[in-house]
Structure formats: structure tokens, C-alpha cells
Amino acid sequence: MLLIASHYTKAQNPDISGFARTYEGILFDNGNFGIMQQTLNLNFEQMGDKVAFKANPMVYLYNADSLDFRMRELYLDLYFDNFDIRIGKQQVVWGKADGVFITDVVSPLNLSEFLLPDFDEIRKGVVATKLNYYVGNSTLEAIWIPVFTPTEKPPPGSIWYIQPDFPAPPAWDFSLETITPGLETSEIFLKYTALTSAIDFELMGAYTWDDNPTLHVQKEFSVDPNTMQPILEGLNITPEHHRLAIGGGSLSSEIKGVILRGEAAYYNGKYFLTEDPLQPDGNIQKDYLHYLVGLDFNLGPVKLSSQFIQQTILNYDSNILNEKTENTMTFLARYDMLRETLHLELFSYIGLTNEDALIRPKITYDFDDSFSILFGSNIFAGDEKGRFGQYGDNSMAYLKIKYSF
């Protein structure tokens, strides 16, 4: 890759940019540090007439004793008359949603800190070849991923790790969790985008792997000699990723200053945990629909945005542990003042089904183009069984100081 880039690009030094950031969060519950993170992000980019190259290494230092180096992106761009090709590790962003991942399924997520990282950092890079073909105001995008990358979950010991509640001691078998890279195990994504004077829309399809493994559970029983009733002695749990076929699209249009957005995807072949005794491994396969409608508008100097999101399991079985329908809303309000150097923002997830929420107010001051300071809070509220309410003890205030170059 480097030889190709050096051959086709003009002799020049690469552009170097990035940022250094300190990020500290203190828990309301006990005053302990919930987050202690130092970050160095570097971008090396070199442009040519026919070729471009980018490398984006990122270093995280957690709690002064845990160093995490990641090559977030490392790719080569090749430019032709009507198409371009990107080869290497890259992040791909699809869809129209804010803070929700519906058709945005190419890059898996890093959920080691739940949904708190900046949205441009929460996605993981994937090793892929991407082709963009241009016809007028339309683009056909095709992506081939030969190496599967799963969702990154919080490790045990993290404040974001939720200990599974099993009715009996589990024994884990991870032999089926790894997917061997190859042609038969690769992933394919297609997207058609059209930009018109009245509407922008995307149509997408994917033959991919579920980024989250299904937990196949085998139960071990013994018999009570007195009552002759079965007694659950243990569980054998085998995590395994399964194929998903996904089809969907998104659209946006502006009407008298109000932007209307919509996005939907149909997922075929998802496994759900069930209490049905006729399911020997504790799972049942169902299709589900995930969609949202949203609007963005200005109320004077205040920018407002709201989304309604619904996920519904089709042909629902009452033994499934998930709710048949899960409803969520998001709200965003932003006000820029002092010549756009002071930014006030409130972003919230509201879980309508579980009556819980994540509320994220923040204040950012830009001293200049390179130096900023941010003070914010992550407030988890509501039912502790909900997606957000389960982290009620993790509500915190935090400070970010960032120097960009």
C-alpha cells in the first residue's frame, strides 16, 4: 500500500493533524473517578492527483496504568474518472439518525464506555474494500469486508460491565465465537444514494454477521431422589455469531426550514433469548423492524432536534425475554453564543418502554480554533431494568480539555 501511494502521489510531506485531550469524570454516587482518560489522536494524510493515504493512530491512557493503542484507520484511496476505491482499515457512517444505529451497520461499535464516547469515536474501523461509483447526483457504494469485527463490550471490572444473571452456575465454551476470515465468511454491503432538489434518500442492503453473539444455552439437570423432580444444576453457554440479512433505507427533506428525516431497516434472522422449554438452546429466531422519524428546526437562535425510534419483533412469541416493541425518543437543543465561542447543549435519550433516560447537558467554550474546555454531565435515571436505568450508579460530572493541532 505504501509503495503504491509513494509512486502515484507527488513528493510532499504528509499533513499532520490531531488532538490531545484529558477527560475526567467524577461519579455523583461516591465521588470516585468514573473516567480518567488521556488521549492522543493523530492523523497523517497525503493527497495526490490519483491517490490519497491516511493513517489515524490513537492512544488512550486509562487510570494512569492502562495504555491502549489503536489504529483507527489506515487506508489508501484510488481515484478514477467515475469511481474511487478505498482499501484498508476504515470507518463507514451510513444513515440519517443521530445517536442511533439502524442502517449504520458497517462499522461495529465500541461500547466499552456504553454510549458516552463522541459519535465519531464510537465506531470501530473495519478492514474492507469500498467502491463508490458516481452517476450524476447518484452514488452506488459497495463494501466487501473479509475480516469480521464484533462489537466491543465492557470488560469485567468496568463500571459499564453488567454481570449476567443466570439461574445456575455457567460454564463457557468460546470455541464457536471466532469467525475465520475467508471468502465464504466475508460481509457484503450495498448502498444507493440519490440527491435531488426535493429529497435526499438512501437504499441499502447487507449480508453480514450479527456483531453481538447469540448465547446458546444447554441446561444440565439432576433428579431429586425424594420428589423425582428435575433440579437445574448448571448451564453450558456457547456464544456464536450468526448471519443477518438487512434491507432498508433513509431519507431527508427540507420544508420551510424544517428538516424531516426517516430511516428504517428490516433485519432477517436475529436470535432472541426465550423461556420456551421447547427451544433446546434457549433461543428463537425472529425478524424485526427498526425505524425512526425525526425533525430538525430552529426556534430563534436555538437549534432543536427530536427523534422517535421503534424496534418491534415480528411474529412475536410471548416467551421471548425482549419486549415485543421498544420505543425510544431523543431530544437535542443547542445554543451558540458569544460569536459562536460558547456552546450550550442538551442531548437526551428517553426510554419510553422502560421509563428510563440518559440526560447529557454540556457547556463548551472555544478559546480559539485549537483550544477548548467542556464541562458536562451524564445523568442516568429511571427503571434499573432499562437500558439506561441500569447504569443509575454511574451518573457523573465530567471535564474535557482539548488541544487540537
Same structural domain, 43 and 144: no
Q: Which residue has the cell 455523583?
A: 28
Same structural domain, 14 and 84: no
Burial of 260 (0-12, 13-18, 19+ CB in 10 A): middle
Residue 13: pLDDT over 90: no
For residue 145, tell me if it sits in a domain: yes
Residues with Cβ within 8 Å of residue 112, at least 6 apart in sequence: 152, 153, 154, 155, 158, 160
Share of the chain above pLDDT 90, in %: 87
Same structural domain, 19 and 117: no
Give the integer Cα–Cα distance in Å for 171 and 163.
15
DSSP, res 91 = -
Residue 46's domain spans which residues? 1-28+36-75
Over the stretch 186-232, which tens digit does the pLDDT of each residue have? Answer: 999 999 999 999 999 999 999 999 999 999 999 888 888 888 888 88
Over the stretch 39-62, which tens digit does the pLDDT of each residue have? Answer: 999 999 999 999 999 999 999 998
For residue 103, tell me if it sits in a domain: yes
**Helix H or strand E segment including 149:** none
Whose CA is closest to 393, among 380, 383, 376, 402?
380
Whose CA is closest to 143, among 119, 125, 157?
125
Mean pLDDT of the region 342-346 = 98
Over the stretch 60-101, which tens digit does the pLDDT of each residue have? Answer: 998 777 899 999 999 999 999 999 999 999 999 999 999 999
Mean pLDDT of the residues in the chain = 94
What pLDDT does 255 receive?
Answer: 94
Q: Domain ends where: 262, 278, 298? A: 298
Q: Domain ends where: 75, 97, 131? A: 75
Residues with Cβ within 8 Å of residue 274, at least 6 apart in sequence: 282, 283, 284, 317, 319, 320, 321
Burial of 145 (0-12, 13-18, 19+ CB in 10 A): buried
Place 12 in a pLDDT band, splitting at 50, 70 and 90.
Answer: low
Same structural domain, 40 and 158: no
**How is the beta sheet containing 230-240 ordered, strand by strand?**
170-172, 230-240, 214-223
Same structural domain, 163 and 44: no
Cα distances (angstroms) measured from residue 119 to each of 68, 97, 123: 19, 11, 7
Alpha carbon dihedral 144, 148, 151, 152, in 10-degree steps, equals -130
**Helix H or strand E segment including 146:** none
Pairs from 375-383 (Cβ < 8 Å, separation ≥ 24): 375/399, 376/400, 378/25, 378/116, 380/356, 381/356, 381/357, 382/351, 382/354, 382/355, 382/356, 382/357, 383/351, 383/354, 383/355, 383/356
For residue 325, tell me if it sits in a domain: no
Number of domains making up the chain? 2
Q: What is the pTM of this model?
A: 0.92
Same structural domain, 117 and 57: no
Residue 8: pLDDT over 50: no
Same structural domain, 132 and 249: yes
For residue 322, tell me if it sits in a domain: no
For residue 258, tell me if it sits in a domain: yes
Query: How many Cβ atoms are within 10 Å of 202's Cβ, its own excluded?
Result: 21
Over the stretch 228-257, which tens digit does the pLDDT of each residue have? Answer: 888 888 999 999 999 999 999 999 999 999
Mean pLDDT of the region 368-384 = 97
For residue 164, tell me if it sits in a domain: yes
Mean pLDDT of the region 8-26 = 84
Same structural domain, 175 and 61: no
Q: Domain ends where: 46, 75, 104? A: 75
Place 35 in a pLDDT band, splitting at 50, 70 and 90.
Answer: very high
Place 1 in a pLDDT band, splitting at 50, 70 and 90.
Answer: low
Q: Is 114 left (phi over 0), alpha (psi -120 to 50) or beta?
A: left
Give the integer Cα–Cα distance in Å for 221 and 234.
7
For residue 380, tell me if it sits in a domain: no
Same structural domain, 231 and 214: yes
Over the stretch 173-182, which tens digit does the pLDDT of each residue have? Answer: 999 999 999 9
Least confident of 118-122, 129-133, 349-353: 118-122
Same structural domain, 181 and 232: yes
Same structural domain, 49 and 110: no
Mean pLDDT of the region 108-133 = 95
Same structural domain, 187 and 229: yes
For residue 120, tell me if it sits in a domain: yes
Hey, is 390 helix, strand or coil?
helix
Mean pLDDT of the region 114-124 = 92
